[in-house]
Every structure is written in structure tokens, then in C-alpha cells.
Structure 1
Amino acid sequence: MDGQQWDRDILVDLFNYRDQQCISNTPFGGNDEEDKLYWREDITGEYTCLPIRTNLYAKRVPVPLICPMCNMEDETVNHVLVNCTFANQCWERRCLYYRASNISSFDLWLMSILDRTSKDGHGEIVTMCGSIWQARNQLVWNNKKSEVNSVVFSTKQYLAEWKMAQGSSTKALYRDVIPGDGASSWVKPKENTVKVSVDAVLFTELSKYGIGLLARDDSGQVIQGRSEVYDGSVRPEIAEAIAVKEALSWIQVRGWKEVVVETDYLMVVQAIRSKVNMKSPFGSIILEYRRMIMGLNIELFFVK
């Protein structure tokens, strides 16, 4: 990039015409942050993995390879969560066992057992994996040996409590809402205020996405609208975050002083309001929005 735009000469030298267009249409933040590595499958960009002994050893961490639960085979993900004698007993106790000896990876095993299980059982399978791993950690770090019955019971209890929490209250889902959030129909803003409605759409088959902005005054009259279509395949939350950020740029160009911005994507609103910094592309857009809105009289709300 050259300053705030792509260096056209370099693009022409290195890429064909199609790639030049794709790169030129790729939005980027106008800040001086260094590039970062991120995990694309998580919205925060963070990546975590189990510190399995074979993985640690491969990273030259001097640890014993033998499984601490059975002391019979090297500790791999497949072994400790499925094929270890302790894991075997846990799975068999819940009648969920499906042998993984002929499957090369834990991912393949998990997909296989999920395919053979009803949707109601998926949560128990994932929770059981977590309980087995916790039992392993109790032995390694606290020298405490867990019983199969306690692992199975803790799995059932945790899952039941989680389901109860999800079903009994929507406050956890909407924990960052404030007065003014959740409107199901358009409401006029206060006097001398502009309200901007924001939305985004994905054109997956065309590898494109678009944004739509509509500004109305305090009487409900449309002042101006704007729509854009960009090349590229992005996740829904990124398209929505770009739409909100573009709305802010649009507001600044128009010179509107008192503005309310509304979007129906709660995740974007929560991310902007939080103080968490994420190193993912989504997080970079959110950070740029926070910087742009400083000193401006703009309110952001979630609408249904």
C-alpha cells in the first residue's frame, strides 16, 4: 500500500488483471497498526489448542510422551479423548462409544460420531470431551485421579445447567443492550437528529457483498441513501461491521452533527461497545470504528 491506497504500479507488476481488481477492491483500515497473525475461524482471531504431550514434544518441549491416564500409549488427541482405557469407560458408560482405532484424526472421529448421533446428543458428546480433558488435567497438575462415574455425572450436570441458563433468560444473550436497543419498528429520532439505518447482504454465489445506508430526518423524510457492492467473500459479521464503519465515514462527509445509527446485527453493536480488542479482521474494523467515533455525537443502537 502507498499511504492510504494500494500501490497501482506494484499491483500491475505482480498480478493479473482479475487479481488486481480484487486487491484494489479490498478495504483496509487507515491506521498504522502492524499486521498480525489471526485464526480465521474465531471472531476474536485467537487460536487455542490442547497441550497434548505429542504436540508439545513436536514443539521441542521436554515432556514425557506416555499418556498419564493409562501409562500405555503416547498421548495424542485421539488417544486421550477416545482410545485411552479411561476415556473408553466414560464413553461406554453413556452408551456413546464409537471406536477410533481405524480413524486417523480426532476431527474425523468427531465428525463420524456426530453423524451417527441425534442433534440432542451433540452437546453431550462435546461436553464429555471437555470433562475427560479436565480429568486428565486434574491428574497431571493436581495429582488427583477422577472416577468414571464423576466424569459422566459432571458432564450431565454441566450440560443441564447450560441448557437451563440458555432457556431461562435472554439476558445472557443480550447482556450488552442499553435503553433504546431492540426496537422492532422505525421510530423518529429527536429533533434536529439524523437517523441512519444500516444493513449488509452477502452474494455468496457471486463472491460479492453489499451494504445499504438510508438517512432520514426527525420527521421521517428520507434525506439520502447509499449502496455499494464489493468483490470478495466475507463472513456476515465482517460485512455488517464494514457497513457500520462506512456509515460513519458517510456521516462525516455529509457533516451531520447529531446522528443515530441503527443496525440489526447485535454482535457488531456488542463488539463496538465492549473494551475487548480482537486481532481478527473483524476486530480491526471495530477498532477503526471506535477511533473514528471519538469526539463525535453519534449513538449506535441494535434494532430487530
Structure 2
Amino acid sequence: MNILLMINLQGDKNDNNTADNSGFWRKIWNLKIPPKIKSFSWRASTNCLPTRDTLLTKRVPVIITCPVCNDYPESCLHIFTQCAYVESVWGKLDISFDMDNINYFSEWLDWVFQHYNKEKVLDIVMGVQDRTFDRSLGYISAEDGDEHWTLPPANSVKINTDVAIFEENSNFSFAFVVRDHRGSLIEVRTRCLRGSPNPDLAEALGIREALSWIKNEDQHDVILESDCLQNVQVQNVQAIRSSFTCLSYLGRVIKDCRELLVSLSEKNVKFKFVKRSVNKVAHFLARQNCSLADRIWRMGDVHSDFQYVLSNDLIIQ
């Protein structure tokens, strides 16, 4: 069946599925939430949000896949309940759903009304409006979100990267640390540049520098770790993994990172988000690099302060 026709049929079925259910609509409008959230819930339930599957029914030439997970069509049901990112968020908030025989957002919301008490329903419907919601909880995959630095597997290397911005001096620095499966230092690179970029751009530049190093070195089975997902403006880990396009300098750097990752497919490079506590060594070097020229450090160049921070990662293995 033609995909456009199939989506049209699904859209029509979804509209008919809820149009006559007056009790369902009353539940939405009786919720004690801001009017704009009620309106949003109503639009999602009637398939009126400009998701990619809906845009295709209007003959807008868009790629139907979700720009976050890049695996499934972007529909209201997918982006609020099924996408890998949002599934991890619901899981962290200890909220689960029985998705059997649920094909549309309105059916899911009706299931929520039937299976949760009023207080929990409000939490779910408010969703990202909840003040306790933390976007950094969405780690995308089970491998993300480590709280302590760990040794990489045998015959592989781990790279940690971080940045620091010094607004008073109008410059910024980034550093990355390369270690082997024994925790031994392979190499450290630091750079200090003029300018005051926003944190997203600075983080992306540091990631691009580390990916470029991997491309130019004879290293395989590499784990690249960054804590930049904690930045809530643009989650660089997510952006690099997805097909998201941003027409800005940041977007250009993100695109460079994405292309570098593709070119490194034969080197088996994994890109992970970790907590700030995992990134102490890279963070230390980035902060120390403000007054230093660009440098390449190896084990014989390590000063005592750096050696102390480096050793601490191994102590908590």
C-alpha cells in the first residue's frame, strides 16, 4: 500500500476513533492544567499537530522518520510514548504504559485516564511542563549515563572530552584525554581559542577535535565520552546521533561530527553521554588550559596535579 494512502487512512481512523467519545473529551477539558496544555492535548488527540506523518498527509515533502531516534515514523504516539528518548524519561519518572492494542495518541491518553489516579494523570499530561522534569534523564540508550569512569574493554581505548569558557578573558578551551584498557595515558590534547561561544558550540568543537584525532590515528575500538547532554539548549550527543539539521555555525559543526562518525564506522567508534563525575580529568585539563598554549601531553609530561586527578579515576574502579 502506498505510504501516503496508508497514513491518510490511519489519520481518518484516528479522527473517527475519538470524535464521538464525549466522555474522553470531558476528561481532557476538566483537567486542572493551563488552557494551552489542554489545547495541546486536544490537538494531539485529533491528530492536528504538525508531526511528520501528518505533514505527509498534507503533501508536504518531508522525511517521515523521527529526527531524534531516526528509526520510526514521527507520529504523536511515537514522540510522546515510543521514541527511545521519551521512553527513558518515562522510565526515570517511574511511569509505564501497556501499549498493546494502542495505535493512536488518543487511545494512549484514554488508557492513562483509566489506569492512573488524577494526580498521576496531571503529571503525565503536563509532561515537559513539570518543574521536576530533567531532560538530562533521556540518555537515549542503556549504555549512557555512567556515573563513574571505568576501564574500556581489552584492546580498546577511551577518550573523554570537555570544555571550559572563560568569559572574563574572552577565550575558551577544550581538552580530551585518551587512555587504554589498563587506564594508562596514551595522549592528552588541549587547545585554547579566542572567543566566547555558547556552551553548545564549545562542546561540539571539542567533540569534533576528538573525532578528528581518532580519524588520523591508528586506533580502533574507541569509546568517546562527553557530558554535553546535560546542556538543555541543544543536546549535542542527541543531535550528532540524529538527522537533525540546524542552519547555523553550531549546525555546521554538528554535521562535521556526524560525518566524521560515519567515516569512522570501520574503527568501531562508540559515542556516549556520561555524568560530569566521569569527566573529571578532561574537565580539570580544560580549566587549567586557559593560560597555556596548545599542547600535546603524554605520560612523561604529566605534572603532579594532573597525575593525582588521573589516578583518582582508577581508585574508584
Q: TM-score, normalised by structure 1?
A: 0.45
CA radius of gyration, larger in = 1
Return the structure number with greater helix share.
2
Q: TM-score, normalised by structure 2?
A: 0.44
